[in-house]
Chain A
Amino acid sequence: MRSAWWDRALGAVLIAAALAFIASANSLQVPFQYEPLGPKAFPILLGVILAVCGGVLVLRPDSVTWFHDRAAAWRVLAGAVILCLYAALFEPLGFIASTALMVTAMARLFGLGVVPAALYGVVLGLAGYYGVGEGMGLNLPDGRLFGG
């Protein structure tokens, strides 16, 4: 999957983002201002430069190779899903349970067997909570489901 369209697409996205950025800066309501430049000018300047850069990227793209094999793409996708779930479950399940699940799933992706992966997950969950959390006085969630 080698194509110059990725750079072109990114260039287009950057132009759109730059325009939105400029519009947002331009619509700021400034009640009072003691200096000549104010809060709008610099962001607008940045937006203009970014739009120009995006334009150059559209016109002169590099060719980007995305994935070499399908398995790699699936691993990255699975990793992304695990990260999202970990973030979503972090507070509801609490640190120990959510970490145990994340570590198990992530280690499985790297080819570790079910039992060692789960064991590693429980160990990291407990060690993180009691070692790093309690030990260093950091704030980690206990989990709402377990009456925390």
Chain B
Amino acid sequence: MDILALLAQGFAVALSPLNIGLLLLGCFFGTLVGSLPGIGPINGVAILLPLAYSIGLPAESAIILLAGVYYGAEYGGRISSILLNVPGDASAVMTTLDGHPMAKRGEASRALALSAMASFIGGTSALVLMTIFAPLLGRVAVGFGPQDYVALMVFAFACLATLVGSRPLKTLIGVLIGLMLAMVGIDGGTGVMRFTFGIPNLFDGVEFLVVVIGLFAVSEALLMLETWSGKRIADVPIAKGAVKLGEILRYRLLMLRAAVIGFFIGVLPGTGASIASAVAYGVEKRLAQGEDDRFGKGDPRGLVAPETANNAAAAGAMVPMLTLGIPGSGTTAILLGALLLFNVTPGPLMFEQRPELAWGLIASMYLGNVALLILNLPLVGVFARLLSVPRAYLVPLMVALTFIGVFSLYGATFDLGMMIVLGFFGYLLRKMGFTLAPVILGLVLGALLETNLRRALSISDGDWSILVSTPTGVVFWIGAALVAVSPFVLKALAHRRKIASLPVKDDE
């Protein structure tokens, strides 16, 4: 009952006129950037963050706005996946598999409505799980010592390296680049300047927003220039049509399974919506024995499962960010960075010290899911029409917004230059097969990791064995080791199986 009282308090915060307005704005903008191919949630949040910061919103309002963009984009990602077979971001890839065949069969409106319902149910069930588990996890985490945090962060990086991106080595390099960027500036412990090259703009460290916008938005603009083909995207006609309640009820167990899978995968550090949707899709395909050949040809189950899971994962990924201060994905890393900008340190204490913020955010996510469902069912035609907005209009607008955002922080041309250099760097890395989310995760966690390591070693007076002195810490170290070797084990197993049962149809 305690939780319900706190949640009620949260609704009181979320229902204030300003916050409701920002929530609707965030959801709308999120669906918009999610549906525009290539922009995706990370860019949406990154572009809005400096604006939200500069106009002086209170912390809880700003985070409600940004979170709205974040999960709104998960709703929007399905539109271009279904209609154009172009996923807005990685987590929407699985949606294309059955969503687009349905659209080609002339069932676009049914697919869109069904996936909107799936998104709503996935998001809302994950929120219920979050309401139950987040305070519990927070209570456990209060007992974590600095050595446990070190182990937890290493575990997070291990998960990230093995599960995200094309190659673990490149993900690890990305994390290291982020961690090293985090070292720039005055060292909190001793007041020594590190890696500033004597540039005053760097004394306070590398500006988080500049890095995020440079790496993501600027490199995205260059990538859009490269991949532009000059062909106009054809309008996809959407016939009127709705989903019957019976059809949704038929998938209730499937949605429930996918939501639980999505939530818990989302909670794991380093794994996010893209893995959750792939796993949920795989599970449903396996469960549909005898009919699994229909998957990939427009089976509604293959659309509902990943859509439910990726929205559930988006909510799940908020849990470690809020309760431990350790984000599980690139976008939640940016949200964490946003909270830090507002002098709010997420972690176990936030639920006690800033309940209006923690519970206000959770309550606003319930409202946001309802708003998104209402917004998406009738307005889907509007969003679909936006898909054919030419890049000639889109990219210049995006560039102007990034410049406005970065310049309005300090009015410094230096920041603009730094943003562009980082943008070129990000473009190079992306071309060479790197994913950029690990860089942001490293940047956000760098100071925290170093501080905790130094704190742990000052407790033990320089004895490194303190890192494995607690059961919690040992569990995380073992977890990290298991995750790190798992790809090699799996590869060996797959290799053996392939030899045992040739010929095998490679369906993944």
List the interface of chain A (C-beta within 8 A of B).
Answer: 6-7, 10, 14, 21, 24-25, 28-39, 42-43, 46-47, 49-50, 53-54, 56-57, 60, 62, 64, 66-67, 72-73, 75-76, 78-80, 83-84, 86-88, 90-91, 95, 99, 102-103, 106-107, 109-112, 117, 120-121, 124, 128, 132-133, 136-141
Contacts and interface: CB of A to CB of B under 8 A. Distances in A.
A14 to B, nearest CB: 7
Given A21-B180, A83-B399, 9 more contacts: A14-B173, A30-B192, A31-B192, A39-B187, A57-B170, A76-B225, A87-B417, A103-B400, A112-B392
B458 A35 contact: yes
Contacts of A110: 225, 228, 390-392, 395
A109 to B, nearest CB: 6
Nearest to A49: B176
Contacts of B179: 46
Main DSSP-derived SS at the B contact region: helix
B190 interface: yes
Given A24-B195, A53-B172, A137 B55 contact: yes
A46 B419 CA distance: 24
A39 B191 CA distance: 9
B172 to A, nearest CB: 6
A90 B454 CA distance: 42
A99 B390 CA distance: 19
Interface in B31-83: 51, 54-56
Contact of B424 (A30, A32, A36, A80): A80
Given A84-B420, A87-B416, A79 B225 contact: yes
Contact of A50 (B180, B400, B401): B180
Given A30-B192, A33-B190, A106-B399, A46 B392 contact: no
Contacts of A60: 169
Nearest to A10: B432
A50 B179 CA distance: 11
A27 B403 CA distance: 36
A90 B407 CA distance: 9
Contacts of A62: 166-167, 432-433
A37 B462 contact: yes
Main DSSP-derived SS at the A contact region: helix
B129 interface: no
B173 A107 contact: no
A48 to B, nearest CB: 10
A33 to B, nearest CB: 6
A31 B195 CA distance: 17
Most B Cβ at <10 Å: residue of A34, A39, A99, A132: A39
Interface in B476-491: none
Contact of A42 (B51, B177, B183): B183
B400 A6 contact: no
A68 to B, nearest CB: 9
A28 B457 contact: no
Contacts of B166: 62
A46 B180 contact: yes
A64 B416 CA distance: 29
A40 to B, nearest CB: 9
Contacts of A35: 189, 454-455, 457-458
Contact of A91 (B413, B424, B455): B413
A138 B55 contact: yes
Contact of B400 (A24, A76, A124): A124
A57 B173 contact: yes
Contacts of A53: 169, 172-173, 176
B454 A102 contact: no
Contact of A132 (B189, B404, B413, B432): B404
Contacts of A141: 407, 411
A102 to B, nearest CB: 7
A124 B190 contact: no
Query: Which 7 A-B pairs have CB atoms at the shortest separation, nearest pair first?
Result: A36-B462, A110-B392, A35-B458, A112-B392, A103-B396, A138-B408, A87-B416
A57 to B, nearest CB: 6
B396 A106 contact: yes
Interface in B261-313: none
Nearest to A29: B192
Interface string B392-435: 11011101110110011001010011011001100100011100
28 contacts: A14-B173, A21-B195, A28-B192, A29-B192, A37-B458, A39-B189, A39-B192, A39-B194, A43-B183, A49-B172, A57-B170, A76-B225, A76-B427, A79-B225, A83-B221, A83-B420, A83-B423, A87-B420, A90-B403, A102-B399, A106-B399, A107-B392, A110-B228, A110-B395, A124-B400, A138-B404, A139-B54, A139-B411
B450 interface: yes
